[in-house]
Chain A
Amino acid sequence: MLRLGLLAAAGAVLVFLPFWVPSTWQNLLITTFYYAYLGQAWNILGGYAGQLSLGHAAFFAIGAYTSAVLASQYAISPWLGMFAGAALAALLSLGIGYLGFRFGLRGFYFILLTLAAAEICRLIALHLPLLGGYTGLFINFTPNPWQFQFQGKIPYYFIALGFLAAGSGIVWLLQRSKLGAYLVAIREDEDASEALGVDTFRYKMIAYALSAALTALGGTFYAYYQYYLQPNTVLHINHSVDIMIRPIVGGAGTILGPVLGSFLLELLGEFSRTYFAGGMAGLSVAIYGVLLVIVVLFLPRGVYPTLAHLMRRRRPGRAT
Chain B
Amino acid sequence: MSLYVQAIVNGFLVGGVYSLMALGLSLIFGVMRVINFAHGDMMVWGMYLSYWLFVTAGVDPYLSILVTGSAVFLLGAAVQKGLVNRILDAPHEMQILLMLGVALVLENVALMVWGPDPRRVSTTYALSTFWLGPIVFDLPKVATFGLALALALGLYLFLKKTDLGRMIRAASDNQIGALLVGTDILKVFTLAFGIGAACVGAAGSLMTPFLPFSPSTGLFFTVTSFNIVIIGGMGSFLGAFVGGLLVGMSESLGAVILVPSLKEIVSFVLLVLILLFRPQGLLGSGR
Contact = CB atoms under 8 A, between A and B. Distances in A.
Classify A-B as touching or not with yes or no (CB < 8 A). yes
B214 to A, nearest CB: 12
B94 interface: yes
Interface string A46-57: 100000101000
Given A288-B104, A289-B102, A252 B262 contact: no
A289 B223 contact: no
B261 A126 contact: yes
A297 B87 CA distance: 7
Interface in A262-320: 280-283, 285-286, 288-290, 292-293, 296-297, 300-302
A241 B226 CA distance: 16
A127 interface: yes
A119 B268 contact: yes
B276 interface: yes
Contacts of B104: 285-286, 288-289, 292
A36 interface: no
B109 interface: yes
A293 B101 contact: yes
A205 interface: no
B226 A112 contact: yes
Interface in A122-170: 123-124, 126-127
Interface in A63-114: 99-100, 103-105, 107-109, 111-113
Contacts of A181: none
Nearest to B111: A282
Contact of A289 (B90, B105, B116): B105
Contacts of A301: 90-91, 94
A210 interface: no
Nearest to A119: B268
A252 to B, nearest CB: 6
Interface class of chain B by DSSP:
helix
A245 interface: yes
B30 to A, nearest CB: 11
B108 A105 contact: no
Given A248-B94, A292-B97, A127 B83 contact: no
Given A52-B92, A282-B111, A293-B83, A116 B261 contact: no
B96 A109 contact: no
Contact of A252 (B91, B100, B108, B264): B91
A238 B105 CA distance: 14
B86, B92, B108, B261 interface centre (most CB from chain A within 10 Å): B108
A115 B264 CA distance: 13
A215 B91 CA distance: 24
Contacts of A99: 272, 275-276
A75 B76 CA distance: 54
B265 A282 contact: no
A285 B259 CA distance: 32
B71 interface: no
Given A99-B275, A120-B265, A281 B226 contact: no
Given A123-B264, A252-B91, A301-B90, A116 B101 contact: no
B266 to A, nearest CB: 10
A237 interface: yes
B97 A112 contact: no
A111 B35 contact: yes
B242 interface: no
Given A286-B109, A293-B83, A296-B101, A111 B96 contact: yes
A248 B102 CA distance: 16
A249 interface: yes
Contact of B98 (A103, A127, A293, A302): A293
Nearest to A247: B93
Contact of A281 (B35, B87, B96, B112): B112
A293 B219 contact: no
A54 B92 CA distance: 14
A237 B215 contact: no
Contacts of A112: 226-227, 230, 271
A112 B115 CA distance: 30
30 contacts: A99-B275, A99-B276, A104-B287, A107-B92, A108-B35, A112-B227, A116-B223, A119-B223, A123-B261, A123-B262, A123-B265, A127-B259, A127-B262, A252-B91, A252-B93, A280-B112, A281-B111, A281-B115, A282-B215, A285-B104, A288-B104, A289-B105, A289-B108, A290-B105, A292-B100, A292-B104, A296-B97, A297-B86, A300-B86, A300-B87
Instruction: Report, nearest first, the 6 A-B pairs whose CB atoms are least far apart.
Output: A289-B104, A282-B111, A292-B101, A282-B108, A300-B90, A286-B108
Interface of B: 29, 33, 35, 83, 86-87, 90-94, 96-98, 100-105, 107-112, 115-116, 215, 219, 223, 226-227, 230, 234, 259, 261-262, 264-265, 268-269, 271-272, 275-276, 279, 287
